[in-house]
Amino acid sequence: MDQSKASMETLTLARRFGGPVHSVRIDAIEPFAPDAVAAILALVADNLNASAVFAAGTDRGNDVMARLAARTGQPFAANCVDAEPGSPVSVTRFRWGGSLLESALLHSPRPLITVAPNTFSAEAEPAPIEVDVKPFVAQLDETDLVVRVSDHIDTAGGRVSLAEAKVVVSGGRGVGSKEGFAIIEELAGLLGAAVGCSRVVTSAGWRPHTDQVGQTGTKIAPDLYIACGISGATQHMAGCKAAKRILAINSDAEAPIMLNADYAVVGDLREIVPAISAELRKSR
Ligand SMILES: Cc1cc2nc3c(=O)[nH]c(=O)nc-3n(C[C@H](O)[C@H](O)[C@H](O)COP(=O)(O)OP(=O)(O)OC[C@H]3O[C@@H](n4cnc5c(N)ncnc54)[C@H](O)[C@@H]3O)c2cc1C
């Protein structure tokens, strides 16, 4: 996800706790080494006598905060959608891939909280305050650098990435086969969109796991999500419910996804998807 958007969402929640907000960059250590960042956070929090520590609920944010919790013995609430300061701090957080909201109390002088991505409208908040950058020199232990990123493989192959795409065209079992994804690829290409899919599709080997949207896949928040031949199981919706608009193309008017769809076309995707592509071509 867009790190700056994740940072703004985290700042939005942290501000509710009042007092000055200090920020430590997660990319302070390159290549990324979660234990080293956790060590820095622990030192800075002690130094500033921080009343709470927040991070974005991204893979890296949760990784660092889990390590910080293990180091300090402080309770950690991951993927929060709300938090109220106090003693104890009360949080609401996603559980079961976002299909359940849990209320919890954190009894701690310094609770550790990550903010679920795409749940705060950071844009609606006041502009970020001017920041005063102070260098902080941390003495790191060799063991803090044992776990670190050693390589990156670009799975998007230069295309727009699923997590950051403004439009995602996704296919489910209804697409029928690996080859059937040609029409999904075509529409995505015309829209400058990323291709996504359901777990049935990755389990069948039609698409790689990196394309999977859902509880055990990527969580996305595009402006438009086009779901073709996807029933809308809870575990799938956990990954796309933050989409601003959902267009469902499904032969079954009663499919659960229709309950979440802003627009729906009931019919055979093998006719509808190429027809949309043809119209897009005509209009260019
Ligand atoms: C622990 C756990 C984690 C999971 N994580 C995920 C996850 O991350 N992501 C995920 O997607 N799933 C996940 N699942 C699986 C999930 O429960 C569903 O099984 C899955 O999402 C269904 O995929 P589908 O919608 O493609 O298939 P189906 O449910 O079989 O739906 C296919 C749809 O295609 C429609 N259709 C068929 N033919 C056509 C046609 N020609 N034209 C138009 N429409 C057509 C049908 O009407 C139907 O609605 C998880 C399950 C578990 C238990």
Ligand 1 site, residue 99, Cβ cutoff 6 A:
no
- What is the structure's pLDDT at 148? 92
As given in the structure block, the two tokens for residue 235 are: 């575990």
CA of 103 to the centre of ligand 1 (A): 29
Give, for ligand 1, the residue of 179, 226, 250 to mutate: max count of ligand atoms closer than 8 Å to Cβ: 250
Phi and psi dihedrals of 6, rounded to 5?
Answer: -60, -40
Confidence of residue 28 (pLDDT cuts 50, 70, 90): confident
Q: Are strands 76-84 and 89-95 parallel, antiparallel or unpaired?
A: antiparallel
pLDDT of residue 43: 92
Q: What percent of the chain has pLDDT over 90?
A: 67
251 pocket-lining for ligand 1 (C-beta < 6 Å):
yes
Residue 207 has pLDDT above 50, yes or no: yes
- Three-class DSSP category at 232: coil
Q: Which pLDDT score is estimated for 1? A: 42
Tell me the average pLDDT of the chain. 89
Where are the extended beta strands (E) located within the chain? 53-56, 76-84, 89-95, 100-106, 112-115, 167-171, 194-197, 224-228, 245-250, 263-266
* Ligand 1 and 92: CB distance under 6 A: no
51 vs 113, 172, 212, CA distance in Å? 11, 46, 38
pLDDT surpasses 70 at 98 = no
- Which residue, among 230, 164, 220, has the nearest Cα to 197 in the 3D structure? 230
CB 212 less than 6 A from any atom of ligand 1: yes
Report the separation in Å between the CA atom of 270 and the middle of ligand 1, taken as the mean of its atom positions.
17
> What secondary structure letter does DSSP report for 167?
E
State mean pLDDT over 63-79. 96
Which domains are delineated in the chain? 3-145 (3.40.50.620), 167-282 (3.40.50.1220)
Across residues 250-270, what is the average pLDDT?
A: 97
- pLDDT of res. 128: 56
Q: Is the pLDDT confidence value at 4 over 80?
A: no
pLDDT digit string, tens, across residues 238-259: 899 889 999 999 999 999 999 9
Residue 216 in contact with ligand 1 by CB distance below 6 A: yes
Beta-carbon contacts of 256 under 8 Å, excluding residues fewer than 6 positions away, are 231, 232, 233
> ∠53-61-96 over CA atoms, to 5°?
100
Nearest to 180 by CA among 189, 168, 170, 190: 170
Q: Give the residue, by CA position, lying nearest to ligand 1 atom 52.
A: 235
How far away, in angstroms, is 234 Cα from ligand 1 center? 9
Stated pTM of the model: 0.71
Ligand 1 within 6 A of CB of 202? no
Those residues whose C-beta lies under 8 Å from the C-beta of residue 2, and which sit 6 or more positions away, are 164
- How does pLDDT run across 116-161, given as a tens digit for each residue? 887 766 555 555 556 667 777 778 899 999 999 998 876 656 677 8
